[in-house]
Amino acid sequence: MQGPRIVITGVGLTAPNGNSLPEFRANLLSGVPGVEWIDVRYMGRLPAGVCHYDPLKYQKKKELRVGTRAGSISIYCAREALADSGLDLSARPTDRVGIYIGCTEHGNVETENEIYAISKFGYDTKFWSHYHNPRTVANNPAGEVSLHLGITGPAYTIGAACAAGNLGLIHAAQMLRLGEVDLALCGGISESIHAFGIFAGFKSQGALAAHADPKKASRPFDLARNGIVVSEGGCLYTLERLEDAQARGAKIYAEIAGYCVNSDASDYVLPNPTRQAEGIRRAIRHAGLEPKEVHLVNTHATATPLGDIQECEAIREVFGANGGTTWINNTKSYIGHCMGAAGALELAGNLPSFVDGVVHPTINVDQLDPRCALEGLVLNRPKSVGRIETILNNSFGMLGINSTLIVRRYVA
Amino acid sequence: MTKDECKQAVVAIIADIAPDEDLSNLKSDVRLRDQLQLDSMDFLDIVMELRKRHGIEVPEADYGQLASLDSCAEYLTPKFNAQAAKS
């Protein structure tokens, strides 16, 4: 990979099972999932991943009233990432800071709420909120962060279905390399559980998880998996050029090693393992690595019957019999599918492996689907594997967008 | 409805629109904007809440009548009473 080296210097997150990286990681290592029952409009009780961060930690009540849940999650994650990084925004030119936030979609929550609200007034549109447009423009989550922090550099979202979290990081790395900004707040967010449409859509597809126990509803690779648990979440990082991070003595979590974004060009919803494998291979080449040098693969697998098998095909095609050098896990088994946040959150949950040498397991696998029995898959209990040098993070999305991001242990 | 009751109804709306503000010392004869952090979108909220909660319409040309609690009471009390007479 050419250009200045880019490093991760701060992490801010809210997941259904943790509101900081230490809390999230601790729960991933001790097998604590974060899926619970919620009441979904028109549909009733469904399992979902709910974030329990304190919105008032950083925002005033009025900001919360005017803004969106997506904006609030973004602001929480941005403030947490900045605090973690030790960066002082007041001491920097605000126009040299970029905000790049991946979203699966945006605006469905607010549109559904407005339609529901006017239904109480005979669908008379004079009761439609004047906040609807600023709440539903696609850049809303990034724009709210810009307003909240007074950042005057580029601030926008990246629409990339469920690959979006990785794309936030990839795009930020590119912008830092181009010299467009000196600091990036980047990653992905989702507020999807507040819209019934996403649940109803997956239900109509036959891809919505159902289980008597919500904590067991998200079960990638298990023979009894039956679909996706819809979740909200957010994870934003501070990314900097290595020389800038070194100059200020920053803590460095990892270095961006390589990436690939490609497209299936084959179906609206069905994955394409051939294109996924191509993307994974290209990312590995981009990082200057061989497959055997990838020590940990965090899978995208969402627990749909077909999708998990197809990703396993792609991984098998790239890594084959890996001789025990590549470990594989999945984070959705704890938190469901955090949509636009998924890639960014799932990477964060694995970053501490560089320090502790432990791979968090994929939980809820009571009976491994033989078609998903990948060599190196870590099931149900964490595994101490020694030194991890590289982590590869897959995130795929509808309309056939695939993203693979590789980070490596930072070595000066 | 008296003018004082009308003012209370308006303050109840403002309490929801500006939840971080202390409304205990609002002066009736001073412009709301000079006492509170309210922008044009917030005033549209007041208009919307009058419509939703009380069925009262405030035409755009009359928005200036909502400047202070006193002017709100002058302008809105007859409208509240007209609404009450309808129901």
What are the tens digits of pLDDT across the range A71-90? 999 999 999 999 999 999 99
Q: Report the C-alpha gap between A200 and A340 in whole angstroms.
A: 18
Q: Tell me what ipTM this predicted complex has.
A: 0.93
C-alpha distances (whole Å) from A261 to each of A158, A164, A181, A293, A393 are 13, 10, 22, 20, 12
A interface residues, B as partner, C-beta within 8 Å: 60-62, 65-66, 121, 126-127, 129-131
Domain layout of chain A by residue ranges = 7-247, 258-408
Burial of A163 (0-12, 13-18, 19+ CB in 10 A): buried
Beta strands (DSSP E) in A296-364 are 296-298, 327-329, 358-359
DSSP for residue A20: S
Q: Is B59 on the interface with A (CB under 8 A)?
A: no
Q: Are A278 and A409 in contact (CB under 8 A)?
A: no
Strand ranges in A50-149 using DSSP code E only, listed in sequence order:
97-103
Q: What is the mean pLDDT of chain A?
A: 97
* Mean pLDDT value of segment A375-399: 97
Given a cut of 90, whether residue B25 has pLDDT beyond it is yes
Q: CB–CB of A7/A242 below 8 Å? A: yes
Of B19, B51, B52, the CB nearest to A61: B19
Residue B79: other Cβ atoms inside 10 A: 18
The whole-angstrom distance between residue A137's C-alpha and the CA centroid of its chain comes to: 21
A300 catalytic, yes or no?
yes
Pairing state of beta strands A183-190 and A383-384? Answer: unpaired
**CATH classification number, A258-408, choose in 3.40.720.10, 2.40.50.100, 3.90.1150.10, 3.40.47.10:** 3.40.47.10
CA distances from B87 to A118, A209, B72, B84 (A): 22, 49, 22, 5
Q: pLDDT tens across A2-44, in order?
A: 789 999 999 999 999 999 999 999 999 999 999 999 999 999 9
Q: What is the pLDDT of residue A1?
A: 62
Enumerate the residues of chain A whose CB falls inside 8 A of the CB of residue B20: 60-62
Active-site option among A51, A77, A103, A162? A162
Contact B52 A66 (CB under 8 A): no
Q: Within A320-373, where are the H helices?
A: 332-335, 342-350, 353-356
> Does residue A51 carry a catalytic annotation?
no
Helix axes A342-350, A21-29, angle to 10 degrees: 70
Q: What is the pTM of this model?
A: 0.97
- The catalytic position among A148, A194, A295, A337 is A337
A130 pLDDT above the threshold of 90 = yes
The region of weakest confidence among A134-148, A226-240, A318-332, A398-412 is A318-332
Q: Given 3.30.450.40, 3.40.190.10, 3.40.47.10, 3.40.50.720, which CATH number is that of A7-247?
A: 3.40.47.10
What fold does the segment set B3-86 form as a domain?
1.10.1200
Per CB-CB distance under 8 Å, the chain B contacts of A59 are none
Mean pLDDT over each residue of chain B, to the nearest integer: 95
Q: How much of chain A exceeds pLDDT 90, in percent?
A: 98
Tell me if A68 sits within 8 A of A191, measured CB to CB. yes
Rounded to an integer, what distance in angstroms lies between the CA atom of residue A340 and that of residue A222?
A: 24
Residue A297, judged by CB atoms within 10 A of its CB (0-12, 13-18, 19+), counts as: buried
Residue-wise burial string across A71-108, b where 16 or more C-beta atoms lie within 10 A, e elsewhere: bbbbbbbbbbbbebbebeeeeeeeeebbbbbbbbbbbb
How far apart are alpha carbons A99 and A155 in whole angstroms?
4
Q: Is B51 an 8 Å CB contact of chain A?
A: yes
AA letter at B24: S
Same fold, A7-247 and A258-408: yes
A383/B15 Cα distance (integer angstroms): 54
Q: Closest to B51 (Cβ–Cβ): which among A60, A62, A127?
A: A127
Q: Rounded distance, CA A181 to CA A158, Å?
A: 17
In sequence order, what are the beta bridge partners of A155? A99
Instruction: State the residue for tokens 């970029």.
Output: A98
Domain extents in chain B? 3-86
pLDDT per position as a tens digit, A304-353: 999 999 999 999 999 987 777 899 999 999 999 999 999 999 999 999 99
Distance from CA of A60 to the nearest CA of B (A): 7
Give the angle A227-A165-A336 at the CA atoms, nearest 5°: 25
Q: Is A162 a catalytic residue?
A: yes
Please state, in angstroms and rounded to a whole number, the distance separating the CA atoms of residues A51 and A20.
11
